[in-house]
A and B are shown apart, each in its own frame.
Chain A
Amino acid sequence: MVSFLRLISLLCLPILFAVPAIGSVSEGTEEDFSEDLLLKPLPDRKVLAHFHFQSVAPSSRSNSYGRHHHLFPKAISQLVHKYRIKEMELSFTQGRWHYDRWGGFDSISSSNAKPSGVELWAVFDVPPNEVDASWKNLTHSLSGLFCASINFLESSTSYSAPKWGFRPASENMRYGTLPREAVCTENLTPWLKLLPCRDKSGLSVLMDRPSIYKGFYHSQRLHLLSTEFDSNAVDSAIVLDQTLTVVLQPYSHRGALGYSNAAQLQPSWSLSSIFGRKVPGRCVLARSSNVYIQLDKGLMAELQGMLGEQEMLAVTRSSSEGSTRNLAFELSANPDRVHMEMSSRNDKHLSVLYMFSVAEKYDESEPLDLRFTWKIPVVWSIPQAPLHVTRFVLGSGNERGAIALQLKSTKPSDQLIPNTVITDSCSLLVKVFQVVPWYIKVYYHTLQVFIDDQPHSITNVVEKMQVSPSEDKVSPGVLEMLLKFPCGLKSAALTIEFDKGFLHIDEYPPDAHQGLDIPSAVITFPDFFTSTQFAENNSSKSPILSKWQGQSPILSYTEVLLVPFTTPDFSMPYNVITITCTVLALYFGSLLNVLRRRVGEEERFMKDKAKKKFQVSQLVSKLLAKLRGRHWEPSESQAPSSSSNSKSKLLFKVILVAGLAAAWQYYFG
Chain B
Amino acid sequence: MAEISEPSNPPLAHSGLSDARLEQPAFDPNTMRKTKPGFKRLILTISVFSSFLLGLPFLWKSVEIYRAPLPFMDIDALSSQLESTPLQFPCSFRVIYVGFDSIAPRVSAEKLKSSILDEITELSSKSSLCGSCNNNYAVSVVIESGSDCSQTRTDASSCTWRCGALSASDFAVSLENGDDSADDFLEVALGGCSRSASGGRGYSVVVMNRDENVEVTIGKYRHAWIVGRISEMEAIPKIAEIFVKLFGNGGREEGLIPGEFMPVGADGKIFLSFNLLNADPDDWIYDWDFQTVDEVLLKPLIKELAPVANVSVESQVLYHTPTSSFSYWDDEQESYIFNTKDLPFFVNSNEWHLDTSIAAGGRSKILHFVIYIPSARECPLLLQLPDGHISETNGFISPMWGGVIVWNPKGCLDRKSKQHHRQMISYPELEKIVEVFLGQFRQLFGLKSDPQHVGLSGTFNILTSEKGFTKWEIDFLSRQHSCFNLHSCASSLGSLSRLVQSLPRMIILDEIGKQVKYSLKAANLAQRNASLGVFDAAAISSRQARSLAEDAFFHPSIMSVSYFSFEHCFAVYSPFFLPVALHVILAALREWKRYKQEHKKYLAFLAKPNQS
A, B: real partners? yes
Contacts from A to B (Cβ < 8 Å): 1-20, 22, 64-71, 73-75, 78-79, 81-82, 141, 145, 193, 196-198, 200-201, 281, 284-285, 574, 577-578, 580-582, 584-586, 588-589, 592-593, 595-596, 598, 600-602, 604-605
Q: Decide if A285 touches B256 in the complex (CB within 8 Å).
A: no
The listed residue (B48, B256, B426, B449) touching A22 by CB distance below 8 A is B426
- Across-interface contacts of A15 in B (CB, < 8 A): 428, 431
The answer to whether B6 and A604 touch across the interface, beta carbons within 8 angstroms, is yes
Q: Assess whether B413 is interfacial by the CB under 8 Å rule.
A: no
Any chain A CB within 8 A of the CB of B231?
A: no
Contact residues of B between 306 and 337, Cβ < 8 Å to A: 314-320
Q: Compute how far the CA of A22 lies from the CA of B571 in the bound complex, rounded to whole angstroms.
A: 75
Q: Which B residues are CB-close (under 8 A) to A598? A: 4, 8, 41
B583: Cβ under 8 A from any A Cβ: yes
Q: Given A6, A70, A596, A604, which contacts B587 in the complex, CB threshold below 8 Å?
A: A596
A-B pairs with CB below 8 Å: how many? Answer: 188
For the complex, count residues of B whose C-beta is within 8 A of A: 80
B178-197 CB mask vs A (1 if < 8 Å, else 0) is 00000000000000000000
Please encode chain B, from 130 to 156, with 1 for each CB lying within 8 Å of some chain A CB and 0 for all others: 000000000000000000000000000
- Residues 252 to 305 of chain B near chain A (Cβ within 8 Å): 256-257, 281-282, 285, 287, 289-292, 294, 296-297
- On chain B, the residues within 8 Å of A78 by CB distance are 314, 357-359
Does A595 lie within 8 Å of B44, measured CB to CB? yes
CB <8 Å contact, B576 and A5: no
* Contact (Cβ within 8 A) A65 B4: no
A64 to B578, CA, bound (A): 78
- Contact between A605 and B4, CB atoms less than 8 A apart: yes
User: Which residues of chain B come closer than 8 Å to A596, judged between CB atoms?
Assistant: 41, 44-45, 587, 591
B316 — which chain A residues lie within 8 A by C-beta? 68-69, 73-74
Contact A4 B292 (CB under 8 A): no
Instruction: Given A20-B427, A64-B289, A602-B4, output 9 extra A-B contacts at Cβ < 8 Å.
Output: A8-B436, A10-B432, A17-B296, A19-B428, A69-B316, A74-B314, A81-B359, A592-B45, A596-B41
Q: Are B11 and A600 interface neighbours, CB within 8 A?
A: yes
Given contacts A65-B291, A592-B45, contact A19 B426 (CB under 8 A): yes
Which residues of the other chain, B, contact A588 by a CB distance below 8 angstroms? 580, 583
* B580/A285 in contact, CB under 8 A: no
A142 to B477, CA, bound (A): 37
User: Are B314 and A67 within 8 A (Cβ)?
Assistant: yes
Bound-state CA distance A643–B156 (Å) is: 117
Residues of B within 8 A of A17 (CB): 292, 296, 427
CA distance A492 to B14 in the complex (A): 96
A135 to B359 alpha-carbon distance, docked (Å): 16
Given A5-B391, A20-B427, A577-B572, are A64 and B450 neighbors across the interface (CB < 8 Å)? no
B580 and A585 contact, CB distance less than 8 A: yes
- Using CB atoms, name the residue of chain B closest to A590: B583
Cβ–Cβ contact A14 & B466, under 8 A: yes
Contact: A196 with B449, CB < 8 Å?
Answer: no
Chain B residues whose C-beta falls within 8 Å of the C-beta of A71 in the assembled complex: 317
Contact between A16 and B289, CB atoms less than 8 A apart? no
Say whether A10 contacts B436, CB under 8 Å: yes
User: Which residues of the partner chain A approach B41 to less than 8 Å between Cβ atoms?
Assistant: 595-596, 598
* Contact B296–A16 (Cβ < 8 Å): yes
Given A4-B396, A78-B359: A13 and B434 interface contact (C-beta under 8 Å): yes
Alpha-carbon distance A16/B594, docked complex (angstroms): 105
Contact status B289-A11, CB under 8 Å = no
Q: Please indicate the chain B residues that have their CB under 8 angstroms from the CB of A22 in the complex.
A: 289, 424, 426
Measured between beta carbons, the chain B residues less than 8 angstroms from A68 are 290-291, 294, 314-316
Once the chains bind, are B291 and A66 in contact (CB under 8 Å)?
yes
The reply on B16 being an interface residue by CB < 8 A is no
Whole-angstrom distance between the Cβ of A136 and the nearest chain B Cβ: 14
Contact of A74 among B287, B355, B580 (CB under 8 A): B355
Task: Verify if B200 is at the interface (C-beta below 8 Å from A).
Answer: no
B404 closest partner in A (C-beta): A4
Tell me how far the C-beta of A629 lies from the nearest C-beta in chain B, rounded to whole angstroms. 20
- Given A5-B391, A193-B353, verify A11-B292 contact (CB < 8 Å): no
Closest chain A residue, CB of each to CB of B276: A70
Chain B stretch 564-608: residues in CB contact (< 8 A) with chain A: 571-572, 575-576, 578-580, 582-584, 587, 591
A69 / chain B contacts, CB cutoff of 8 Å: 315-317
Task: Determine if B466 and A581 form an interchain contact, defined as CB atoms under 8 angstroms apart.
Answer: no
Contact of A8 (CB < 8 Å), options: B291, B297, B385, B439: B439
**Beta-carbon contact of B591 and A82 below 8 Å:** no
Q: Do A9 and B427 touch across chains, with their CB atoms under 8 A apart? A: no
How far is it, in angstroms, between the C-alpha of A669 and the C-alpha of B28 when the chains are bound? 58
Instruction: Find chain A residues with CB under 8 A from B297 CB.
Output: 13
Contact yes or no, A284 B396, CB < 8 A: no
**Is the beta-carbon distance between A578 and B575 smaller than 8 angstroms?**
yes
Q: How far is the CA of A4 from the CA of B3 in the complex (A)?
A: 91
Residues of A within 8 A of B392 (CB): 7-8
Q: CA of A634 to CA of B392 in the docked complex: distance in angstroms? A: 119
Question: Among the listed A3, A70, A284, A600, which residue makes an inter-chain contact with B256, where contact means beta carbons less than 8 Å apart?
Answer: A3
Residues of B within 8 A of A67 (CB): 291, 314
- Contact, CB under 8 Å: B583 / A592: yes
Tell whether A284 pairs with B285 under 8 Å between CB atoms, given A4-B340, A8-B440: yes
B385 A5 Cβ-Cβ under 8 A: yes
Q: How far is the CB of A363 from chain B (nearest CB, A)?
A: 9
- Chain B residues lying within 8 Å of A1, measured Cβ to Cβ, are 340-341, 343, 386
Sample (29) of A-B pairs whose CB atoms are under 8 Å apart:
A1-B386, A2-B386, A3-B443, A4-B398, A7-B391, A8-B443, A8-B449, A9-B451, A11-B439, A13-B431, A13-B435, A17-B292, A18-B427, A64-B291, A65-B290, A68-B314, A73-B316, A141-B358, A193-B353, A198-B320, A285-B285, A577-B575, A580-B576, A582-B576, A585-B576, A585-B580, A595-B44, A598-B8, A600-B11
Q: Roughly how many angstroms separate A196 CA and B294 CA in the complex, as a whole number?
A: 23
Q: How far is the CB of B461 from chain A (nearest CB, A)?
A: 13
Nearest A-chain residue to B312, judged by Cβ: A67
Q: Does B199 contact A (CB under 8 A)?
A: no
Given the complex, which residues of B lie within 8 Å of A285, measured CB to CB? 281, 285, 319
Q: Chain A contacts of B314 at CB under 8 A?
A: 67-68, 74, 78
Q: Which of A3, A13, A285, A595 has the most CB of B within 10 A?
A: A13
Nearest-neighbour CB distance to chain B for A578, whole angstroms, equals: 5
Does B468 have its Cβ within 8 Å of any Cβ on chain A?
yes
Q: Is B464 an interface residue (CB 8 A)?
A: yes
Cβ-defined contact, A11 with B438, below 8 A? yes
**B87: interface (CB < 8 Å):** no
User: CB-nearest residue of chain B relative to A15?
Assistant: B431
* CB-CB nearest 9 A-B residue pairs: A8-B439, A581-B575, A581-B576, A585-B579, A200-B320, A589-B583, A74-B316, A78-B358, A68-B290
Q: Which of A82, A284, A581 contacts B358 (CB 8 A)?
A: A82
Residues of B within 8 A of A11 (CB): 435, 438-439, 449, 464, 466, 468
User: A9 to B391, alpha carbons, bound, how many Å?
Assistant: 11
- Shortest distance from the beta carbon of A15 to any chain B beta carbon, whole Å: 7
Does B558 have its Cβ within 8 Å of any Cβ on chain A?
no
Chain A residue nearest to B344 (CB atoms) is A1
B395 interfacial contact with A, CB 8 Å: yes
Q: Is B198 an interface residue (CB 8 A)?
A: no
Residues of chain A within 8 A (CB-CB) of B431 are 13, 15
**Most chain B beta-carbon neighbours within 10 Å: one of A8, A82, A574:** A8
A197 to B3, CA, bound (A): 95
| Distance between B381 CB and nearest chain A CB, rounded to angstroms | 14
Given contacts A4-B396, A22-B426, A78-B357, contact A13 B8 (CB under 8 A): no
Taken together as a complex, chains A and B put the C-alpha atoms of A198 and B579 apart, in Å, by: 68
In whole Å, how far is B127's beta carbon from the nearest beta carbon of chain A? Answer: 19
Contact with A along B434-454 (1 / 0, CB 8 A): 111011100100000111000
Residues of A within 8 A of B257 (CB): 3
* Cα separation A242 to B391 with both chains bound (whole Å): 43
Contact of A284 among B281, B355, B583 (CB under 8 A): B281
Contact digits for B551-571, partner A, Cβ 8 Å, 1 yes 0 no: 000000000000000000001
